[in-house]
Structure 1
Amino acid sequence: MSENLQPSEMANVRSHFAHLCQLALADALVTKDELEYLTKLYTSYGLSQEEFNSIMDDAFAIPFAAPEKTILRLEQLYDLVRMVLIDESIDERKVKLCVEVAQKLGFQAHMVGDLIKALVNMEEETGMDKLEIDDLNIILKDSKE
């Protein structure tokens, strides 16, 4: 599928995965759970193992690129926040990096905290750990008010 992506779309995907890899590497230890999450995501984006390995190797050198559509940027932020929450405890370095990327994506810093709260509350209340697009749109709308 990655061969079907336009160059700008591929740049967005590479940038997004570079940030995910940076988060995984932020505490100097890529856990099994982080690797499983990355594998699930790169597969869903249609990246090959080789493309993913290349991104992981160059994670800190890949230039920033963001999708034009707000919902796509919000989905990327959601992926990043999920990566922050994979570890048993929330690492401040990961939160700081996530906030930096959120701001580059055009969101206010508090969006990271809003998503973390929404995910933690949802998991505690329902046992589910995945927000749907409608939920993300509600969080986005609420953050603008």
Structure 2
Amino acid sequence: MFRFFESEETKKLKSHLTNLGALAKIDGHIDPAEINFIISIGTRHGMRASEVKDLLSGSSKITPQLPSNDSERFDQIYDMVEMMLADGIVDENEMDFCMHMATKLGFKKAVVGVLVRKISTGVKDGLSREQIKNDAQSFLNY
């Protein structure tokens, strides 16, 4: 009922967390590391852990909100790839979902595979988000 009064930023955050929840569920089980990762993103943006859990349980229906700029788009796909790696197992369905979501977020189909792999490799190599983002900008040409 009060969702009408939510800011656009809050709606985007909830949409993003819901997308991460869908990714977590795609391999048939939700790893505790994945849930903790999603909760950490929510709490970092001011949500309580219980709110994030309610959101992930599907008790509230969220209308998808697309990011409004390139930086937000990158941050969302980065979070998805980082969560895909959270349980230490990269399922092919998770990889496909990340590439599908990258396209939905507005990245060109021709570069989504390279983008997801570049983020994945950068995270595994311990590079910072900003280093990976700067490197990705050279071939993304948003």
Q: Which band: TM-score by shorter chain?
A: 0.7 to 0.9
Work out the percentage of aligned pairs sharing the same amino acid. Answer: 23
CA contact (8 A) 1:15 1:64 kept: yes
2:45 corresponding residue in structure 1 = 45
Report the Cα distance in structure 2 between the residues aligned to 1:122 and 1:42, rounded to whole angstroms: 20
CA contact (8 A) 1:16 1:76 kept: yes
1:133 corresponding residue in structure 2 = 130
TM-score, normalised with respect to structure 1:
0.79
Report the Cα distance in structure 2 between the residues aligned to 1:115 and 1:7, rounded to whole angstroms: 29
CA RMSD of aligned residues (A): 2.6
The gaps in structure 1 that reach 5 residues or longer are: none
State the Cα deviation string for residues 5-52 of structure 1 (Å, max 9, x = none).
Answer: 962111100110001111111112111221221222111111112321
State the AA in 2 paired with 1:83: M
1:123 corresponding residue in structure 2 = 124
Question: Matched residue of 2:62: which SS?
Answer: coil
Paired residues for 1:19-38 under 5 Å: 19-38=19-38
State the AA in 2 paired with 1:114: L
How many equivalent residue pairs? 137
TM-score, normalised with respect to structure 2:
0.80
State the AA in 1 paired with 2:50: E
1:97 corresponding residue in structure 2 = 97
Of 83-92 and 130-139, the range deviating more from structure 2: 130-139
The ranges of structure 1 where at least 4 consecutive aligned residues each deviate by more than 6 angstroms after the TM superposition are none
CA contact (8 A) 1:20 1:83 kept: yes
